[in-house]
Amino acid sequence: MLTTLRIKNLGLVDDITLELGPGFTTMTGETGAGKSMIIGALNLILGQRADRKLIRSGCDTCIVEAVFDITHIETPIDEQLDEYGLESCENNQLLIKRTVTSSGNNRQFINHSPASLNLLSLLGRLLVDIHGPYDHQSLFDPQKQLELLDAFAGVTEMREDYSATVAQVKALQREKEDLISDEQSYAQQLDLLRYQSHEIASAQLEKIDEAALEADFRKARNSAQIRELGHSVLAAVSDSEPNLIEQVSQIGQALHQLVQLDHQTEALLEAHVQMADIAQDLQTELSRYLDSVEIEPEQLIHLEEQVNELQSLKRKYGGSIKEILNFGEEAQSKLQLLESRDSEVERINKDLHALFHQLLKQAPALSRIRKQKSRALAEATGCQLGDLGFNDGRFEVEIMNHSIVDGEIESLRSSGIDQIDFLFGPNPGEPLHPLKQIASSGEIARVMLALKTVLASEDHVPLLVFDEVDANVGGETAHAVGEKMRLLGKTHQVICITHLAPVAAAADQHFRVTKSIQEKRTQTAVEKLTKKKRVDELGRMLGGKVSAAKKHAEALLKRS
């Protein structure tokens, strides 16, 4: 339910806030007062593309904010928000805000977080249905019509079962297509998978330590330079004249003499002993290391081949040994599947045949109930249309079937074998036409009102907005329109913009839209009417402020 609607700098509106309640709400006012701004604001909330011409002249920004209470909405709104990474509704309050700027930097927010227009449009279809010369006329969509017929017929569960079977068929068909291709392609796939599996398996990557392999190869490739550097260091330590060890020995002799002369220098002698040990260790370790650097040409070639093979495998199958091994496992699985292709295809064909046989039972049963209930829906809608001034109008549900052919996946629709269209003929002797081809917006709105009345318990969109339902309507038909709005208000929140006093009198809430000049500027205001002011407004709609109009207005309110 829409509880709050704030509009700022939209058209003639400066800044107004509407607090709305449940049931049937009407909005009235003189032509040109700005009632259309209410529809315009709702369309912005529902994700319609924004036009900067909507911004009030002299302003840079237009803002529309809406608060919806989703407590009793059957559609899981929070799940939709979570799917898009948005905050869930706090205290079941859904907050939507649109900002339109003259610079074109428009933004929209859901629960204070930035959101896309696509998500706004998706939520809009779940929250509001606007009937009139606007875009949110969901009953024009044959798929939506079929959903409503199924809800009216009580076959929603049967349809879901049928849809699940179709999904199984299509999944199996995709699996089959992955297996079956032309023989040349099949042979090429087999050869490629066999080659990949063998190449990866023969490399025995499980036994390779990549870091150690690279270190060994680097050492082998640079062995000559290593030996040259190592021998130059070894010569300086022990082989050249003079060398480090001899110099250390000479230093030791001098220190011994120094200690004889001054015992306080004994610490220096201890430091010399450590230095001598280090020099000796350096000679020993360096000799041992140089002995290990002797690399045979065959060993270098082997290491180079291993490194090149690993790099080649990385380029083909992945950036690490783990990724290469994973690729090999997948290739082996695909290979086993292809090598057992014939038996797999036979299994799939058997399953497909069984599922098609199941569909051939499900589809006619679903279609049969639809046809039976479509007549009841047409009859009930026709009765409602009679109350709304179409005494000779006709309403029908056209159902067209297509056949299911075993094995032809293209012939399958998840909704069944039926395609439907709601047809309407307002004039006797004239052919019926699909709803979307009806030219008169007043006729469209009244047909929608009739359908909404019949399908009220099956249609879960909580807010219904009607505009121009009073076109070419008068007399008792106007009372019937008001009564149906009132009845719809028992199961939905209804907002109706009308010029008909009998329709407005049936409302639970009444808002009056007026236009005035404030500080040399025209602006629209909206006022929620008390009972006395309702009498005055209804009297105006009936023809003026004369006592007869006022008495008529009081009678309308009493009748409602």
Please give the Cα distance from 382 to 93 (Å, whole number): 38
Per-residue pLDDT, 135: 40
Q: In this structure, what are the phi and psi dihedrals at residue 206, rounded to the nearest 5 degrees?
A: -60, -25
Tell me the one-letter amino acid at 85.
Answer: G
The last residue of one of the domains, among 409, 431, 453, is 431
Tell me the one-letter amino acid at 103.
Answer: S
Report yes or no on 144 lying in a domain: yes
Residues spanned by the domain of 301: 201-336
Average pLDDT, consecutive stretches of 10 residues, N- to C-terminus, the chain (560 residues): 93 90 92 82 87 86 93 83 87 92 88 90 86 59 86 90 93 83 72 89 83 75 70 77 81 84 83 86 81 70 78 86 89 83 85 91 93 93 86 89 73 87 86 78 74 78 80 75 89 90 92 87 89 90 76 82
The last residue of one of the domains, among 284, 313, 336, is 336
Outline where DSSP puts E strands in 282-432. Answer: 394-401, 418-425
Are residues 156 and 283 both part of a single domain?
A: no
Per-residue pLDDT, 184: 65
Per-residue pLDDT, 364: 92
Report the domain count for the chain: 2
Report yes or no on 84 lying in a domain: no
Residue (of 78, 89, 92, 80) closest to 112 by Cα position? 89
Are residues 217 and 314 both part of a single domain?
A: yes
Per-residue pLDDT, 396: 93
Are residues 205 and 332 both part of a single domain?
A: yes
Report yes or no on 310 lying in a domain: yes
Please give the Cα distance from 221 to 225 (Å, whole number): 9
Are residues 279 and 231 both part of a single domain?
A: yes
Are residues 318 and 426 both part of a single domain?
A: no
Report yes or no on 165 lying in a domain: yes
Are residues 207 and 157 both part of a single domain?
A: no
Please give the Cα distance from 492 to 325 (Å, whole number): 60
Are residues 217 and 310 both part of a single domain?
A: yes
Are residues 238 and 269 both part of a single domain?
A: yes
- Which tokens go with 348? 């799939």
Per-residue pLDDT, 541: 87
Q: Helix, strand or coil for residue 98?
A: strand
Report yes or no on 356 lying in a domain: yes
Report yes or no on 88 lying in a domain: no
pTM above 0.85, yes or no: no
Are residues 326 and 352 both part of a single domain?
A: no
**Positive or negative: CA dihedral 368, 370, 376, 382:** negative
The last residue of one of the domains, among 305, 336, 367, is 336
Are residues 273 and 393 both part of a single domain?
A: no
Q: Helix, strand or coil for residue 471?
A: coil
Are residues 206 and 276 both part of a single domain?
A: yes
Report yes or no on 291 lying in a domain: yes
Are residues 375 and 270 both part of a single domain?
A: no
Per-residue pLDDT, 136: 44
β-pairing, 509-518 vs 24-28, is: parallel
Contact residues for 23 (Cβ-Cβ < 8 A; gap 6+): 489, 490, 493, 494, 507, 508, 509
Report yes or no on 353 lying in a domain: yes
Contact residues for 126 (Cβ-Cβ < 8 A; gap 6+): 73, 75, 77, 80, 461
Taking residue 371's Cβ as centre, other Cβ atoms within 10 Å add up to: 15
